[in-house]
């Protein structure tokens, strides 16, 4: 709300072009622009093929995993995982590093799991994230940006108000 509207409109037009030109049909592009002018961009196709779990469904699960239990989420993952993924992309870049990236991500995923009793559920989510990172246009960098944005959204979520809360 503190960012100039003309810049917001310009950023949205650029995001629309990126979605069409980078990811093709049935795609989404997201741009986060801070008041200081820093931007974070990511995107992807809504669905890749039957092998990949749909992008937005996976991000919805990640948001719930990041969201604290008090706010209606699962409270399964530390928000640090989003930044860990970015570090993996920087440190282990290259086609020949695919297996190393996946193993390092699984290691960090175990470390960032807050509720160890849900480890198998978190591991399954991690496998979907690895598939997205390795198999889609966005790669590990784009997926780390998705996780950072989803982490931000999970911090602003509040649990739905029940009738007893309203009275």
DSSP string, 84-132: HHHHHHHHT-SGGGHHHHHHHHHHHHHHHBS-GGGHHHHHHHHHHHHHH
The pLDDT tens digits for 72-89 are 888 999 989 989 988 998
Residue 78: both structure tokens together: 């530390």
Of the candidates 75, 59, 73, the one whose C-alpha atom is nearest the C-alpha of residue 114 is 75
The pLDDT tens digits for 11-56 are 889 888 988 888 887 788 888 887 777 788 888 776 666 544 577 8
Query: pTM for the complete prediction?
Result: 0.76
The rounded distance, in Å, linking the Cα atoms of 116 and 110 is 8
Q: Could you tell me whether strands 27-33 and 39-45 are parallel, antiparallel, or unpaired per DSSP bridges?
A: antiparallel
Give residue for tokens 């160890």: 116
Of the candidates 2, 4, 109, the one whose C-alpha atom is nearest the C-alpha of residue 65 is 109
Of the candidates 146, 153, 128, 155, the one whose C-alpha atom is nearest the C-alpha of residue 82 is 146
Of the candidates 156, 155, 152, 136, the one whose C-alpha atom is nearest the C-alpha of residue 43 is 136
DSSP helix/strand/coil, 167: coil
The pLDDT tens digits for 99-122 are 999 999 999 999 999 999 999 999
């Amino acid at each position: 709300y503190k960012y100039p509207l003309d810049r917001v409109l310009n950023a949205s037009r650029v995001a629309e072009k990126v979605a069409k030109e980078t990811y093709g049909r049935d795609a989404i592009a997201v741009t986060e622009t801070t008041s200081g002018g820093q931007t974070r961009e990511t995107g992807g196709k809504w669905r890749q093929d039957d092998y990949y779990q749909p992008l937005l469904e996976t991000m919805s699960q990640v948001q719930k995993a990041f969201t604290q239990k008090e706010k209606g989420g699962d409270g399964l993952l530390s928000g640090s995982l989003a930044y860990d993924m970015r570090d993996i992309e920087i440190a282990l870049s290259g086609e020949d590093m695919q297996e190393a990236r996946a193993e390092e991500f699984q290691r960090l995923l175990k470390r960032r799991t807050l509720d160890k009793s849900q480890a198998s559920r978190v591991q399954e989510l991690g496998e979907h994230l690895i598939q997205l990172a390795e198999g889609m246009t966005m790669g590990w960098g784009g997926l780390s940006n998705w996780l950072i944005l989803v982490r931000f959204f999970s911090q602003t979520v509040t649990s739905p108000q029940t009738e007893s809360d309203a009275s």
